[in-house]
């Protein structure tokens, strides 16, 4: 019976072609027991033999009701040969038409009804002819050419087509309903991702007000005593503002975030002097990788504000990037107060739960954020993101 043995796994609904794939499953799969095995040519041959045998039993029982004197064995043998010939020929015809004449399967309801009527009609006629040869019923061949024979073929075709349509039309309706649900879920997920990206881009495009005010106040205080330093600070602030303003169109690469981070650290370096040191280790082959906006800078800001500034001698920030299998691992390590000291303070710092939520929206469970104490002093925040498929 109809099936496409080349379709080897259940589909993920997403298009009309996949709905056709659902409809092309073997009719036996209407029973849950027969859905346990993956589709394949040998499985479908076995399934078709079982389906044909069931039909032979049904027709044998039907004929015995009207002719109880007929030999059960003789009747069952004849119906078994006829059912197998018809069933396997219909199976073969559906395989051929699935591969070469697939348009009716995707057409209107009228086209599908016509398709599921004509193919069984040809299979029934050819199957009867083959069965007459195998059974040695030469008179059956002449009957097939008579009005009585044509009527019988039409009747049997209507029965087979009705069974197929009764199985496949509800399956198609269920598949289309699942498709609509899947499309709506995909639309909602895409909207959530777009919202998360827009929120992160907005954060990246904004300079924290108190940071801007503090920087400007520091510039003013240095104008008279250290004009050269004040000038450099203004230049770095201008570069940071320019990078922030162009963040939405920068492409969102790792290198773009590193450039933004360097401008930020240059300003903080002028403010904190030798108390702030940093090292960035970003392999060149990773610099062009796309990453979500607003990842590194707020983590570094958190490390400085709550880890290094409270220490009299300050400390060092280490920013690293590496490839770990199919993931990009970014780490920000500081030699400051340590996570335990920050956790015991009143300030919540960056708010890692918010960062986790944004990454969960973008990547699901494929991304992670961890924070831990770093020996002998300080803390480390590690962000793991799935690499793009082309970069894996």
Q: In what order do the strands lie in the sheet with 315-324?
A: 276-281, 315-324, 327-334, 379-386, 368-373
* Cis-peptide, bond into residue 351, ω within 30° of zero: no
Confidence of residue 4 (pLDDT cuts 50, 70, 90): very low
Model confidence, pTM: 0.48
Please enumerate in sequence order all residues whose Cβ is within 8 A of that of 228, keeping only pairs 6 or more positions apart, or say none: none
pLDDT in tens, 209-233: 566 767 778 788 888 788 888 888 8
Quick one: pLDDT at residue 283?
A: 94
Tell me the domains of the chain and their CATH numbers.
16-189 (no CATH), 206-391 (3.30.565.10)
Quick one: pLDDT at residue 20?
A: 46
Say which residue, 108 or 118, is predicted with more confidence.
118
Does pLDDT of 204 surpass 60?
Answer: no
């Amino acid at each position: 019976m109809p099936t496409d043995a080349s379709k080897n796994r259940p589909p993920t609904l997403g298009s009309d072609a996949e709905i056709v794939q659902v409809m092309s499953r073997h009719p036996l799969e209407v029973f849950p027991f027969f859905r346990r095995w993956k589709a394949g040519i040998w499985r479908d041959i076995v399934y078709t033999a079982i389906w044909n045998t069931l039909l032979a039993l049904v027709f044998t029982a039907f004929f015995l009701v009207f002719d109880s004197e007929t030999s059960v064995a003789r009747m069952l043998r004849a119906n078994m040969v006829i059912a197998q010939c018809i069933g396997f020929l219909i199976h073969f015809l559906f395989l051929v038409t699935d591969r070469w004449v697939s348009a009716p399967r995707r057409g209107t309801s009228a086209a599908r009804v016509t398709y599921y009527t004509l193919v069984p009609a040809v299979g029934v006629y050819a199957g009867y002819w083959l069965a007459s040869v195998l059974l040695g019923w030469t008179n059956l061949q002449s009957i097939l050419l008579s009005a009585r024979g044509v009527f019988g073929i039409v009747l049997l075709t209507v029965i087979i087509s009705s069974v197929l349509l009764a199985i496949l039309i509800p399956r198609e309706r269920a598949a289309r309903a699942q498709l609509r649900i899947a499309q709506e879920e995909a639309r909602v997920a895409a909207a959530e991702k777009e919202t998360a990206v827009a929120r992160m881009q907005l954060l990246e495009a904004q300079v924290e007000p108190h940071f801007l005010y503090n920087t400007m106040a520091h510039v003013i205080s240095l104008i008279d005593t250290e004009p050269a330093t004040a000038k450099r600070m203004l230049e770095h602030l201008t570069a940071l503002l320019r990078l922030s303003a162009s963040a939405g169109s920068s492409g969102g690469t790792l290198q773009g975030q590193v450039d933004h981070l360097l401008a930020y650290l240059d300003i903080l370096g002028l403010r904190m002097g030798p108390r702030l040191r940093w090292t960035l280790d970003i392999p060149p082959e990773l610099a062009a990788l796309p990453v979500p906006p607003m990842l590194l800078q707020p983590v570094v800001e958190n490390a400085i504000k709550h880890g290094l500034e409270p220490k009299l001698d300050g400390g060092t920030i280490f920013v690293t990037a590496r490839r770990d299998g199919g993931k990009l691992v970014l780490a920000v390590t500081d030699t400051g107060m340590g996570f335990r000291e920050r956790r015991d303070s009143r300030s919540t710092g960056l708010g890692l739960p918010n960062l986790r939520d944004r990454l969960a929206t973008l990547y699901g469970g494929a991304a992670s954020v961890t924070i831990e104490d770093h020996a002998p002093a300080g803390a480390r925040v590690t962000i793991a993101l799935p690499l793009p498929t082309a970069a894996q």
